[in-house]
């Protein structure tokens, strides 16, 4: 990578070139770029936007290391610690800072372009226990389902269907996720699970049956965050949730599931 | 197009924010190595017996939880202090590939399949040894291209700051570039291609190797993504986990920046050859 300024021994030593205009511009630019990316790391953690991209335990490292980068940047601008030279690639951290602070992308949506779907092949195992208060019987009244529902996600439903096929149909279920509909018009609920960051997200999908919804809209724009209540349809091979009520909500504070949710 | 940009910007931001703290940790450790640890220590630890140094460094790396973004600048500073390139790279490759957190994550992702954890450890260790053996045999000792921070004067804190600032300036942009490329390739990956490539073992292994390079995942999380490739043979899934921590787009850029194109090409190609070969052998024996 070519240097921002040709490596020059006259430029190598802070005291030699500190007074020149070129050296001032160079150290100011390097310092500003470091300050921008360090500041971005801190801002995204302090505002909570970090939950769109990384796990919550990354907030403190982002703040601490971002603060350190800001200090290094300010030290460069102030001339306390003067960078000898910097590669052109450093300019890219400015681009990253703009994306983080100005574009401020939201969490992954069903349109995210992550093409793989994992529910049928979920290898992470967990035991599932039915909360007694959520047992409402098969084809229960929508009001009772809504009152006694237990919040579950696609993987838990997968485990439950697998482990408790005789009881799970009696359970009232509440789910939160993004509404999706495929080319055939079949609806589903999508939630992403991440391990470290959104880059390793996998899509958990729950097929939905909407014929039993008594009131309100039954279709939404793809990617709309919804809350729904319903019951498993009893199909072990291809489990589907018969929805009794569904409504649009704002995106939750924690948009992604993690291993701790399984 | 807007949807693709939304996805790209989220993936790009996620990769940058996930990597930066580890990169900062790496440049801080690198600064500590460069400023505080006398050269004679490294001479004593690793330099005298280069043949022993590679497996020893790989074993040390396996004990130290390190992210790829942390270990590359650290390896650069180690070579700058006189440690053999083969040993420094063996440490840098082994740490993200073999550390206990990675193995625990693999065990969690492949619950009920302890053989996958063992296969990952053995195949990754063999792949690191292949790279280390080649670098030892070739005698390659490229200078750390980021070079000296030119902060010899002043107090310890100022020298540490100067070294960290210097290394950060030389690596941060490359992490961003790697994230941009990886996010672009992820978004552009065509629909429905992967399942059609899963049936034939050589094709499946090659696909998983390329995917590992393209996706540029952290080694601590790649097992959970690997576990979702249920249509692929276990050996191909193993290949994905062995290749990724050793060679991906982001790492290749960092290798090139730190050690030059020739060294980066050598590391990348031998890491790929070692990883794929060891995955095929270990996969056929253990999976």
Whole-number mean pLDDT of chain A?
85
Rounded Cα distance between A221 and B84, Å, is 58
Under 8 Å between Cβ of A193 and A201:
yes
Cα–Cα dist A150/A131, whole Å? 8
Q: Which of A44, A122, A194 has the CB atom closest to B17's CB atom? A: A44
Handedness of CA A78, A79, A81, A83 (dihedral sign): positive
- Within an 8 Å CB–CB cutoff, is residue A37 touching chain B? yes
- The single residue listed with the structure tokens 């979702």 is B228
Q: Please judge whether A87 and B169 are an interchain contact, meaning their C-beta atoms are less than 8 angstroms apart.
A: yes
| Shortest CA gap B267–chain A (Å) | 18
- Chain A interface, best mutation among B8, B17, B193, by max A CB count within 10 A: B17
pLDDT band at B108 (very low <50, low <70, confident <90, very high): confident
CA pair distance A66, A54, nearest whole angstrom: 15
Write out the DSSP string of A181-230: E-TT--EEEEEEE-SSBGGG-EEEEEEEE-TT--SS-S---TT-EEEEEE
Residue A202 has pLDDT above 50, yes or no: yes
pLDDT digits (tens, 9 = 90+) for B169-211: 888 888 899 889 888 887 887 666 777 888 899 999 999 999 9
Interior angle at CA A40, CA A111 and CA B99, nearest 5? 75
Interface test with B, best of A196, A204, A262 (most B CBs within 10 A): A196
Q: Which domains does chain A carry?
A: 9-103 (no CATH), 119-261 (2.40.50.140)
- Cβ burial A205-241 (10 Å sphere, 16+ → b, else e): bbbbebeebeeeeeebebbbbbbbbbbbeeeeeebbb
Query: Residues B272-287: pLDDT tens digits?
Result: 999 999 999 999 999 9
Q: Between A41 and A11, whose confidence is greater?
A: A41
Contact across the interface for B10 and A105, Cβ inside 8 Å: yes
What's the pLDDT at B257?
Answer: 87
Give the pLDDT of residue A21.
81
Mutate to test the interface with B, among A70, A104, A113 (most CBs of B within 10 A): A113
For A66, A153, B24, B25, B96, the CA distances from A56, given in Å and listed in that order, are 16, 20, 19, 19, 22
Using alpha carbons only, what angle is made at residue B131 by residues B233 and B47, rounded to the nearest 5 degrees?
Answer: 150
- Over residues B71-83, mean pLDDT: 84
Q: How far is CA A104 from CA A33, A107, A130, B253, in A?
A: 18, 10, 40, 26
Average pLDDT over residues B230-243: 93
Provide the mean pLDDT of chain B: 86
pLDDT bin (cut points 50, 70, 90) of residue A125 is: low
> Which ipTM was obtained for this model?
0.85
B7/A199 CB distance under 8 A: no
Instruction: Choose the weakest-confidence range: B42-56, B72-86, B122-136.
Output: B42-56
Which residue pairs, CB below 8 angstroms and at least 24 apart, start in B136-143? Answer: B136/B50, B136/B51, B136/B54, B136/B84, B136/B86, B138/B266, B140/B85, B140/B86, B140/B263, B140/B266, B141/B79, B141/B84, B141/B85, B142/B79, B142/B85, B142/B259, B142/B260, B142/B262, B142/B263, B143/B79, B143/B80, B143/B259
| pLDDT (0 to 100) of residue A3 | 43
Cross-strand bridge partners of residue B98? none
Count Cβ atoms within 10 A of the Cβ of residue B156 and give its class: 0-12 exposed, 13-18 middle, 19 or more buried.
Answer: exposed
Is the pLDDT at B47 greater than 70? The verdict is no
Contact B6 A105 (CB under 8 A): yes
Which residues on B lie below 8 Å from A65 (Cβ)? 20-21, 24-25
Which pLDDT belongs to residue A11?
A: 44
Going by C-alpha positions, the residue among B270, B272, B266 that lies closest to residue B242 is B272
Query: A184, exposed or middle or buried, with CB in 10 Å at 0-12, 13-18, 19+?
Result: exposed
**CB distance B231–A69 less than 8 Å?**
no
Give the tokens for residue A140.
């229960």
């Amino acid at each position: 990578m070519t240097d921002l300024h040709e490596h020059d021994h006259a430029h190598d030593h802070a005291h030699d070139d500190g007074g020149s205009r070129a050296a001032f511009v160079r150290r100011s630019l390097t310092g500003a770029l470091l300050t921008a990316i360090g500041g971005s790391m801190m801002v995204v953690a302090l505002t909570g936007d970090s939950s769109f991209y990384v796990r919550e335990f990354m907030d403190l490292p982002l703040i601490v290391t971002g603060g350190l980068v800001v200090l290094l940047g300010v030290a460069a601008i102030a001339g306390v610690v003067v960078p000898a030279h910097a590669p052109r690639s450093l300019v890219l951290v400015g681009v990253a800072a703009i994306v983080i602070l100005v574009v401020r992308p939201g969490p992954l949506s069903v349109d995210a372009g992550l093409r793989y779907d994992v529910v049928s092949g979920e290898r992470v195992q967990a035991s599932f226990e039915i909360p007694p208060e959520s047992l409402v019987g098969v084809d229960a009244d929508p009001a009772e389902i809504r009152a006694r529902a237990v919040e579950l996600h696609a993987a838990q439903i997968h485990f439950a269907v697998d482990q408790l096929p005789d009881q799970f149909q009696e359970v009232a279920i509440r789910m939160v996720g993004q509404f999706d509909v495929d080319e055939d018009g079949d609806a589903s609920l999508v939630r992403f699970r991440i391990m470290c960051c959104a880059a390793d997200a996998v899509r958990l999908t729950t097929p939905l049956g909407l014929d039993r919804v008594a009131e309100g809209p039954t279709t939404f724009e793809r990617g709309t965050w919804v809350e729904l209540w319903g019951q498993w349809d009893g199909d072990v091979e291809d489990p589907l949730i018969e929805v009794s009520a569904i409504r649009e909500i704002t995106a939750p504070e924690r948009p992604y599931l993690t291993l701790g949710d399984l | 197009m807007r949807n693709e940009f939304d996805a790209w910007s989220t993936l790009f931001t996620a990769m940058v924010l996930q990597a930066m703290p580890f990169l900062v940790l790496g440049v801080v450790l690198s600064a500590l190595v460069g400023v505080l640890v006398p050269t004679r220590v490294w001479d004593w630890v690793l330099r005298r017996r280069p043949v022993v140094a590679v497996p020893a460094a790989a074993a040390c790396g396996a004990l130290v939880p390190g992210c790829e973004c942390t270990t590359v600048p650290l390896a650069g500073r180690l070579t700058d202090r006189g440690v053999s390139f083969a040993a420094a790279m063996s440490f840098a490759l082994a740490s993200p590939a073999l550390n206990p957190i990675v193995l625990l994550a693999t065990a969690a992702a492949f619950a009920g399949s302890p053989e996958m954890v063992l296969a990952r450890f053995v195949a990754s260790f063999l792949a690191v040894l292949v790279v280390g053996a080649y670098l030892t045999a070739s005698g390659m000792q490229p200078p750390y291209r980021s070079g000296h921070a030119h902060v010899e004067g002043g107090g310890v804190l100022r020298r540490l700051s100067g070294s960290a600032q210097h290394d950060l300036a030389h690596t941060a942009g490359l992490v961003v570039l790697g994230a941009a490329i990886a996010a672009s390739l992820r978004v552009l990956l065509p629909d429905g291609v992967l399942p059609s490539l899963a049936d034939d073992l050589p094709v499946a292994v090659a696909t998983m190797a390329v995917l590992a390079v393209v996706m540029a995942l952290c080694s601590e999380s790649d097992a959970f993504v690997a576990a979702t490739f249920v249509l692929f043979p276990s050996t191909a899934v193993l290949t994905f986990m062995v290749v990724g921590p050793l060679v991906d787009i982001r790492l290749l850029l960092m290798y090139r920046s730190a050690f030059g194109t020739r060294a980066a090409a050598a590391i990348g190609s031998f890491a790929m050859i070692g990883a794929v070969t060891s995955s095929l052998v270990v996969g056929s024996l253990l999976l």
